[in-house]
């Protein structure tokens, strides 16, 4: 399946404008690294090669044969250094996709490319693009004291897409179903493409995730095993966070990982953008750990915990629990889209909490001293006036330029029974699924 080329315009501009001879593109599986590379080399003099986990001797033999065959020529070379020396005067882009596979199998490869970068590329017309996995690349290419450390000046890390791009993969879906798909698989292009094979969200969910033969049924386990040395420990940590553990003590207790060892595992998961430590936008309340990746979050809550029932085909999907989960995802979508929907600039957007008080979204403009408080309700026929009454009370506890600030409110809902434009002298913005559909559907 050919993936849609969605967003990534910034990365494409960087590739087209750079004069760097060697570029690194890295990120998690299925995030669109190969699709970006192929879009960039389209109509350019180039050679694309997908690396495999073999010895470098076997891989170089395969590399050289493919180069000669696809380009209808015959170059003799004994190794990579010899090959690049012989083609250095050519204006060609050499792509080594999944380069981290070579490094994993052949620890000497970074030193080989150190020589190529230092001795061959400076006086050549060649350009080299390397791509690799998130953790493998970070540990073998970008880490301090590694041979290529500091030598690759342009490094492009690809992150999952935002909610606003979901509709471009699923043009026939209604906005509510786009929210549901995003809640299940996040912004991973290949996962969104998979849903495009089905006419409805329900069909996609049943066939892709809640099916022992489904494309994403065991993707989480494969990804952790491919990237990490102790996948079972990372799984226990993720399951503990998904079940409500938010502090180091709580996560340690539920995952049976010593609290002294826990930070190193969380740091890896944070680097992979699977978890994050959320902090309140203002104030001194402690941070809380959350699963940052919708696919991982959904999979642990609704697939991993019910593997036996799914495989026995006795599983009944919990719609009520899914709707509670959608409420959390809806808050994230509100944070992502707020500035664009309002056509306003904010310097900070996030959540706020203090003791027993919590506000879903708080947005600040630190220059103009403007602050916006927003609540998100994954419900129909919401009364915006009642929601704003609660916001007034909670906003009093937010300590930030209290004597100087200009306040406004926003309410996100599936639909409203009553919209309002102002409340007690504050401007109020109401957004429902129809507004999101008009912008992103």
Nearest-10 Cα torsion for 59, 60, 63, 67: -170
pLDDT at 3: 54
| pLDDT tens, position by position, 397-426 | 999 999 999 999 999 999 999 999 999 999
Q: What is the DSSP letter of 205?
A: I
For residue 19, CA distances in Å to 4, 11, 84, 345 come to 27, 14, 19, 33
Residue listed under structure tokens 């494969």: 222
pLDDT value for 145: 83
Q: What is the pLDDT of residues 89-99, one digit of tens each?
A: 999 999 999 99
Rounded to the nearest 5 degrees, what angle is found at the Cα of 377, between the Cα atoms of 376 and 378?
120
DSSP calls for 25-39: EE-STTSSHHHHHHH
Pure H helices in 343-415:
384-395
Mean pLDDT score, 250-262: 98
pLDDT bucket at 342, cuts 50 / 70 / 90: very high
Closest CA to 273 of 28, 99, 79, 33: 28
Q: Is the pLDDT of residue 101 over 50?
A: yes
Positive or negative, the CA dihedral 307, 310, 314, 318 is positive
Kindly state the average pLDDT of the residues 32-38: 95
Both structure tokens of 248: 């180091």
The predicted structure's pLDDT at residue 4 = 64
Q: What is the pTM of this model?
A: 0.94
Nearest to 78 by CA among 92, 88, 68, 64: 64
Cα 348 to the center of its chain, rounded Å = 20
Q: What is the pLDDT of residue 133?
A: 86
Section 347-351 average pLDDT: 97
Residues of the chain with pLDDT > 70, as a percent, come to 99
CA distance 125 to 21: 8
Q: Are 330 and 431 in contact (CB under 8 A)?
A: no
Tell me: the pLDDT tens digits for 216-254? 999 999 999 988 999 999 999 999 999 999 999 999 999
Asked whether the beta carbons of 351 and 280 are under 8 A apart, the reply is yes
1 pLDDT band, cuts 50/70/90, is very low
Half-sphere exposure at residue 194, Cβ-oriented, CA atoms within 13 angstroms = 22
- The confidence score (pLDDT) of residue 416 equals 98
According to the model, what pLDDT value does residue 81 have? 97
Q: How far is CA 231 from the centre of its chain?
A: 19
Residue, of 6 and 382, whose pLDDT is higher: 382
């Amino acid at each position: 399946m050919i993936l849609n080329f969605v967003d990534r315009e910034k990365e494409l501009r960087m590739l087209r404008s750079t004069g760097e001879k060697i570029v690194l593109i890295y990120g998690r599986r299925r995030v669109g690294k190969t699709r970006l590379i192929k879009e960039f080399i389209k109509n350019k003099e180039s050679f694309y090669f997908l690396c495999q986990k073999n010895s470098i001797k076997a891989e170089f033999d395969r590399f050289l044969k493919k180069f000669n065959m696809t380009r209808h020529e015959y170059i003799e070379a004994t190794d990579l250094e010899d090959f690049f020396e012989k083609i250095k005067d050519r204006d060609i882009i050499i792509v080594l996709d999944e380069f981290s596979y070579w490094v994993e199998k052949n620890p000497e490869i970074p030193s080989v490319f150190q020589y190529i970068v230092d001795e061959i590329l400076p006086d050549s017309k060649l350009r080299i693009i390397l791509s690799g996995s998130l953790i493998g690349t970070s540990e073998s290419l970008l880490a301090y004291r590694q041979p290529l450390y500091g030598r690759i000046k342009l490094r492009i890390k690809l992150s999952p897409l935002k909610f606003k791009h979901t509709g471009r993969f699923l043009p026939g879906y209604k906005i509510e179903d786009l929210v549901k798909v995003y809640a299940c698989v996040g912004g991973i292009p290949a996962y969104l493409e998979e849903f495009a094979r089905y006419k409805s969200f329900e069909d996609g969910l049943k066939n892709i995730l809640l099916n022992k033969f489904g494309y994403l049924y065991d993707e989480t386990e494969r990804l952790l095993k491919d990237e990490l040395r102790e996948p079972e420990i990372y799984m226990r940590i993720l399951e503990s966070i998904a079940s409500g553990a938010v502090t180091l003590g709580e996560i340690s207790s539920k995952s049976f990982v010593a609290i002294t060892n826990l930070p190193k595992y969380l740091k890896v998961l944070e680097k992979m953008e699977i978890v994050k430590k959320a902090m309140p936008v203002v104030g001194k309340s402690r941070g809380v750990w959350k699963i940052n990746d919708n696919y991982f979050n959904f999979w642990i809550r609704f697939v991993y915990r019910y593997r036996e029932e799914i495989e026995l085909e006795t599983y009944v999907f919990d719609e009520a629990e899914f709707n509670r989960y959608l409420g959390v995802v809806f808050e994230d979508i509100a944070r992502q889209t707020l500035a664009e929907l309002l056509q306003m600039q904010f310097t900070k957007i996030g959540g706020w909490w203090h003791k027993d008080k919590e506000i879903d979204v708080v947005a600040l403009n630190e220059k103009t001293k403007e602050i916006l408080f927003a609540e998100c309700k994954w419900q129909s026929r919401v009364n915006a006036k009642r929601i704003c009454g609660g916001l007034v009370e909670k906003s009093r506890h937010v300590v930030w330029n209290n004597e100087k600030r200009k306040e406004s409110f926003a309410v996100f809902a599936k639909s409203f029974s009553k919209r309002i434009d102002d409340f007690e002298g504050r401007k109020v913005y109401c957004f429902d699924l129809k507004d999101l559909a008009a912008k992103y559907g």
